[in-house]
């Protein structure tokens, strides 16, 4: 009985830090369980192009914009096309399957508990259209004060620009912003920005088991 009580006492909780004055959420893999849909979409595109998609890329580059994935695939698969063309193909495939994404309930529940109490923003490596479609599909598109996407910054994660832009728009010093992230690149960005950081991976389903 004592062992069971100790386990309950030390159970991890997803929480907002007392010093946090604003919240910033990554989207893919944090609020949205979209990685399986991204993987299916990449496989479909690569099949049409007679090349292969290495799923390990998703682990290594989670948080990076789609153009970074495309540049790597074009280079490694020796494709005779511009990365921008590959991005267009992949995005169309992803948008077509947007209804297959699912919510990460633990993170969304926390976000909803803070709605109206402090400013909140999305800081994502997705394009504005991809982010908008996902948020609408999850029915949370009206709950954020600002959305900063890959279209809004020149330097993407692991650079801190995405999160610093969120802080600027919310009018809150970076040290009082709490970032919720699942990607290594995003976590590096939050730490470089001097923000509070929560790794959501223990609270969400990880398709890679890592």
pLDDT in tens, 166-184: 999 999 999 999 999 999 9
pTM for this prediction: 0.87
The whole-number average pLDDT for the span 63-76 is 92
At 143 the pLDDT is 97
- Cβ atoms of 111 and 25 closer than 8 Å: yes
* CA 32/CA 104 separation, integer angstroms: 6
What pLDDT, in 10s, does the model give residues 53-67?
999 998 888 888 899
The whole-number average pLDDT for the span 71-91 is 95
At 4 the pLDDT is 35
* CA 148/CA 164 separation, integer angstroms: 10
Alpha helices by DSSP H, 99-178: 105-114, 128-137, 161-170
Higher per-residue pLDDT: 11 or 158: 158
The whole-number average pLDDT for the span 122-131 is 95
At 11 the pLDDT is 42
Q: Give residue for tokens 């007679």.
A: 50
List the catalytic residue out of 26, 33, 161, 182: 26
CATH numbers and ranges of domains, the chain: 14-33+101-203 (3.40.50.1000), 36-99 (1.10.150.240)
152 catalytic, yes or no? no
* CA 117/CA 155 separation, integer angstroms: 30
Residue 12 has pLDDT above 70, yes or no: no
């Amino acid at each position: 009985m004592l062992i069971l009580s100790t386990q309950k006492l030390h159970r991890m909780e997803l929480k907002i830090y007392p010093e946090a004055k604003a919240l910033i959420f990554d989207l893919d893999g944090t609020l949205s369980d979209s990685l399986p849909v991204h993987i299916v979409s990449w496989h479909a595109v690569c099949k049409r192009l007679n090349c292969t998609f290495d799923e390990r890329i998703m682990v290594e580059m989670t948080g990076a914009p789609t153009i970074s994935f495309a540049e790597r695939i074009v280079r490694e698969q020796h494709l005779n096309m511009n990365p921008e063309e590959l991005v267009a193909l992949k995005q169309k495939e992803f948008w077509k399957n947007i209804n297959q994404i699912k919510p990460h309930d633990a993170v969304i529940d926390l976000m909803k508990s803070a709605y109206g109490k402090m400013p909140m923003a999305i800081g994502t490596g997705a394009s504005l259209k991809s982010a908008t479609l996902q948020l609408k599909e999850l029915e949370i598109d009206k709950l954020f004060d600002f959305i900063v996407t890959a279209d809004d910054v020149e330097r993407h994660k692991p650079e801190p620009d995405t999160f610093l832009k969120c802080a600027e728009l919310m009018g809150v010093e970076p040290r009082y912003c709490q970032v919720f992230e699942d990607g290594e690149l995003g976590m590096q960005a939050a730490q470089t920005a001097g923000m509070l950081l929560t790794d959501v991976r223990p609270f969400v389903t990880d398709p890679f088991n890592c």
